[in-house]
Amino acid sequence: MTSAVDDPLRAARVAVDHGRFREGWDLLDVQPLPVRRSGEWQLLVAMARWRLGEFAPSHAAALQARDRYRSAGDTDGEMRAENVAAAGAFALGRLAEAERGFGRALTLAERANDLLMMARCANNLGNVALYVGRHDAALASYRLARGRFHRVGMHHGEAEALINIGLVWHELERHEDALEAADAALELAELIQARRLVAQALAMRGEALAMTEHTPIGQLLVQRALDMARAEGDQLAEVEALRLLCNIERNAGQLSAARGYGEAALTLARRLVHPWATATVLKDLAAVHQQHGNGRWAVHALTEAAELYAAMGAEQRAAAMRERARQVEQPPSRPRS
């Protein structure tokens, strides 16, 4: 039997692999210096801290892990660390760096014929495509990822890919398709008892129902998703649920409640230093203020969102924000009777 002395990272590895990221980080943080010098320690730290919303430390740890694995000639470790480092760059809004990193990880996965890593890279490359507005490419990547996850029996990854497919359908305003994807993701997430994924799928299902005139049910599901995200410590999912509640309340004409949810989402997104979440919340909160007659605040929010999108390389979205700001500043004049 392998002892804790022989394998000091075993407990932390199990915790991270099973989604207990706070526990995993606590176990990693007490390891002695010789263990901290290993590539695996750095990689586990990167994985745990990413899930805890600590994206800059995660990115730095993943890069150190990659370099250590590369120096040791461990291509499997290098591949895994490259993928996590790219995920860190992605969360920090450095989309070009993220795309290069995911591409390098995919090349290593293809050389090793590692279907699981190929699926993860396809899913991650789909995220980049979605952010920059390439919806067809995003859908193709997510579908490829879903198929590969299914082939290797990775229900967790398949559910993530389905949630991402639903995000594309939502952006394209195909709400029935988004609902179908959310239902499929929820079924898988409940099967494997992945509470974080259940929360994300519930939020998507609630949003889709609210957009198809089932507002009370949709609101109830998103509120449940918010409670679960908070219980799981999933702060990005918490931001998303708050943002969705903001939109649901705005569509129902409850502007004060909408503003409260939106401002809570914005505060948390800023604290996480997550450019995408911040820009997306600003975009939706601007609509609340515009509807409330506060055009100046709406223009300010849209301008900041445009700057954040542009800094990430999502120029198509930045241009859309600038155009919305222009329309708020100069509304179309009514024809004279």
Q: What is the pLDDT of residue 336?
A: 53
CATH code, domain carrying 23: 1.25.40.10
Q: What is the pLDDT of residue 6?
A: 78
pLDDT averaged over 10-residue windows placed end to end, the chain, 337 residues:
71 90 95 95 96 93 97 96 96 95 97 96 97 96 97 96 96 94 96 92 94 91 96 92 96 95 98 95 97 94 97 95 94 56
CB 138 within 8 A of CB 163: no
- State which residues form the domain around 303: 262-330
Q: Which residues contact 277 (CB under 8 A, 6 or more apart)?
A: 236, 239, 240, 243, 265, 269
Instruction: Return the structure tokens found at 329.
Output: 């500043």
In a shared domain, residues 23 and 97: yes
Residue 73 in any domain: the answer is yes
10 Å Cβ neighbour count for 137? Answer: 15
Instruction: Return the structure tokens found at 133.
Output: 């507005």
In a shared domain, residues 142 and 160: yes
Q: What is the pLDDT of residue 337?
A: 45
Q: Which residues contact 144 (CB under 8 A, 6 or more apart)?
A: 119, 122
Q: What is the pLDDT of residue 333?
A: 56
| Element of type H or E holding 207 | helix 195-211
In a shared domain, residues 212 and 151: yes
Q: What is the pLDDT of residue 332?
A: 60
